[in-house]
Amino acid sequence: MKKEGKNEVLLTFDDGPSKYLDQFLDVLAEEKVPALFFWQSRLLHHKRPWSRVLREGHEIGLHSHSHKNLVKLTKSEQMKEIKTNKRIVEQLIDHPVRYFRPPFGQHNSDTIEIASELDLEVIMWDISSFDWDLKDDPTQIVKNVTEHVQDGSIILLHELKQTLEILPQLIQGLKERGCHFTSLKR
């Protein structure tokens, strides 16, 4: 992703699709910002606007079927989690999925081998917003990101109410620092 001197950042959202997805998409559309959503297939619901995600230029990645810590699973259990996730998401969106993020960022050599076998690129992050932990202080989410952002940063966010609340402020803060939003599309 890194293009030297472009000051590009990638917003990523884990643990969806959530009931707030439409509202996240509204903010991203208003701000003209692309994002990459990492979804658990157990959360896929026919009313979630997955087609809107793709239509508006965002990307969908995999985040396992049921969000288990993969390093605590055998290789075959990991394969089942990831392969099920891939099959369900790809059937729904009728489009191949190229990206995978392991739950909790936890992975081992088995995880990497499985991702490779399934033609998936593992995407991690270099900036965590800690948004899952900041329900009572969502403005700290903005600080966690804007104070550590650098060219090429991949920012970890989640489809949570508190994240939605600060998303416009976060995007503006990044724009004020000269950041440009990018995607991984080739």
Q: Does residue 3 lie within any of the structural domains? A: no
Q: Does residue 156 lie within any of the structural domains? A: yes
Structure tokens at 103: 């739950």
d(CA 19, CA 8): 29
3-state secondary structure of 62: strand
Is the pLDDT at 1 greater than 60, yes or no? Answer: no
Q: Does residue 36 lie within any of the structural domains? A: yes
**Structural domain containing residue 114:** 8-181
Mean pLDDT, the chain, as a whole number? 93
3-state secondary structure of 14: strand
Q: Does residue 16 lie within any of the structural domains? A: yes
Count of structural domains, the chain = 1
Is the pLDDT at 3 greater than 50, yes or no? Answer: no
- The single-letter code of the amino acid at 24 is F
Percent of the chain residues past pLDDT 70, beyond the cut = 96
d(CA 74, CA 89): 23
Residue 180: beta bridge partners? Answer: 8
Percent of the chain residues past pLDDT 90, beyond the cut = 87
Assign residue 71 the CATH number of its domain.
Answer: 3.20.20.370
Q: Does residue 166 lie within any of the structural domains? A: yes
pLDDT score recorded for residue 51: 87
Is the pLDDT at 5 greater than 70, yes or no? Answer: no
Instruction: Identify the DSSP state of 143.
Output: H
pLDDT in tens, 62-88: 999 999 999 999 999 999 999 999 999
Is the pLDDT at 48 greater than 90, yes or no? Answer: no
Is the pLDDT at 133 greater than 50, yes or no? Answer: yes
Sign of CA pseudo-dihedral 15, 134, 163, 178: negative
Q: Does residue 35 lie within any of the structural domains? A: yes
d(CA 21, CA 12): 13
Q: Does residue 160 lie within any of the structural domains? A: yes
Enter the pTM of the model.
Answer: 0.93
Q: Does residue 128 lie within any of the structural domains? A: yes
10 Å Cβ neighbour count for 160? 22
**Pairing state of beta strands 154-158 and 8-16?**
parallel
Instruction: For residue 74, count CB atoms less than 10 angstroms from its CB and return exposed for 0-12, middle for 13-18, buried for 19 or more.
Output: exposed
Q: At what angle do helices 109-117 and 75-93 cross, to 10 degrees?
A: 40
